[in-house]
Amino acid sequence: MIVGTPTNNRIIANLLVALYTALTNQCYAVFVTVQRLWIPERRMATYPDIMVMSEPLTYQERRTDTFNYDQEDKFTAYRTIPTFQEYLLISQEKCYIEQFQKEGDCGFLKAYKNLPIITLKYLRVEVEIADIYNNVIFDNS
């Protein structure tokens, strides 16, 4: 997603609320944009819009602000993280979500355009797509 737009912020907030609510009292931590994710194989850090990580957290050596976990360069880098399981690309221009799920050494991509619910298999969570896009107005001009 492109950072800094009202639509982007609404989508992030909506998904954060849905994930936080669904994962209450479970061993997961939900983080938003200002939390760095350390990618060891690439020796780089990124700032995902939202990330969910299992507890206990593992940190980059000598750091407590960068986690040592596992559409282009960013997504490729994420896939190098051994614990990486799922990735969502959420359009802010139309109701459209792409989901990558890791299966062993492979993975598959699923697109959601008109489906009502997205299933996050590894978190065992279902999120209504209408909730993700709640109060989002698309510019159809």
Q: What value does the mean pLDDT take over residues 51-67?
A: 72
Which superfamily, per CATH, for 6-132? tt1808, chain A (3.90.1570.10)
Helix (H) or strand (E) holding 12: helix 6-22
pLDDT digits (tens, 9 = 90+) for 83-92: 889 989 888 8
Q: What is the pLDDT of residue 14?
A: 95
pLDDT of 65 reads 54
Rounded to the nearest 10°, the torsion over CA 45, 49, 52, 55 is 50
Over residues 11-34, the pLDDT tens digits come to: 999 999 999 999 999 999 898 887
pLDDT reading at 67 higher than 70: no
pTM for the whole structure: 0.76
| CA 122 to each of CA 20, 40, 60, 86, 107: distance values in angstroms, whole numbers, following the listed order | 15, 22, 23, 7, 13
Least confident of 39-53, 71-85, 95-109: 71-85
Helices (H), 58-103: 73-78
Share the mean pLDDT of the chain. 83
Q: Domain extents for the chain?
A: 6-132
Measured CA to CA, the distance from residue 120 to residue 92 in angstroms comes to 20
Would you place residue 1 in the very low, low, confident or very high pLDDT band (cuts 50, 70, 90)?
very low
Contact 47, 55 (CB under 8 A): no
C-beta atoms surrounding 26 within 10 Å: 13
